[in-house]
């Protein structure tokens, strides 16, 4: 019988990385539950959970965070789904399918501007968006003005790390060219 060992999705990624005025580091694994309300059950689900996020919202509920993840879909991060939730919504454990990184610092918006087809000025702190990160589907959360959480499918971590570190290096090179010479 095979002896399987759990590994981090970021094994070999050499994190954290600091470059160009920002830090890229792995987020701890999260318990992630997809929550998709059944037709006509949104009001009952809101009553059971205490809330359900609208487009772009990130809210505190069920002891964790409920994050808008698309039309009729939320991801519950580290939330204890109350008894009766499954009567009003399809619940699916997604924990092993997602991996998250944090990108923080003054250059973080410039790094992401190279990879996201979004105007980050329209993504205020405390909100979420679904978009492409380079060519990869991603869930983007903005907990603070200069901080982003990027959640991607675990199977695509290598490509995401390549894109993110490349964008960090490009922003760093541009910053170095803009600095006056010393000496």
Say if residue 172 is in the same domain as residue 113.
yes
pTM as predicted: 0.90
Structure tokens at 88: 């009003």
Distance of CA 2 to the CA centre of its chain: 33
pLDDT for res 4: 79
Q: 155 and 72 in one domain? A: no
Domain C-terminal end among 69, 95, 121: 95
Check whether residue 91 and residue 167 sit in a common domain.
Answer: no
pLDDT one-digit tens code per residue, 151-178: 999 999 999 999 999 999 999 888 877 7
Percent of the chain beyond pLDDT 70?
A: 98
Listing DSSP states for 52-78 in one string gives ---TTBEEEETTEEEEEEETTEEEEES
Domain range for 163: 17-29+96-177
Considering its fold, how many domains does the chain have in total?
Answer: 2
Task: Give the CATH number for residue 102.
Answer: 3.30.1360.120
pLDDT (tens digit per residue) in 106-146: 999 999 999 999 999 889 999 999 999 999 999 999 999 99
E strand map for the chain = 17-19, 22-26, 32-37, 58-61, 64-70, 73-77, 89-93, 98-105, 127-133, 136-144, 147-153
Domain boundary among 64, 95, 126: 95
173 and 102 part of one domain? yes
Give the pLDDT confidence score for residue 183 in this predicted structure. Answer: 61
């Amino acid at each position: 019988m095979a002896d399987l060992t759990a590994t981090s999705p970021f094994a070999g990624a050499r994190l954290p990385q600091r470059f160009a005025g920002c830090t890229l580091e792995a987020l701890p694994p999260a318990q992630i539950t997809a929550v998709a309300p059944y037709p006509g059950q949104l009001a009952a689900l809101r009553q059971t959970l205490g809330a359900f996020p609208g487009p772009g919202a990130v809210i505190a509920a069920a002891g964790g965070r409920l994050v808008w993840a698309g039309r009729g879909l939320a991801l519950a991060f580290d939330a204890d789904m109350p008894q009766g939730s499954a009567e009003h919504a399809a619940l699916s454990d997604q924990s092993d399918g997602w991996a998250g990184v944090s990108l923080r610092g003054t250059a973080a918006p410039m790094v992401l501007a190279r990879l996201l087809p979004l105007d980050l000025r329209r993504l205020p702190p405390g909100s979420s968006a679904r978009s492409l990160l380079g060519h990869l589907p991603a869930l983007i959360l903005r907990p603070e003005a200069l901080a982003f959480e990027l959640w991607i499918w675990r199977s695509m971590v290598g490509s995401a790390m390549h894109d993110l570190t490349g964008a960090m290096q490009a922003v760093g090179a541009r910053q170095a060219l803009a600095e006056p010479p010393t000496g």
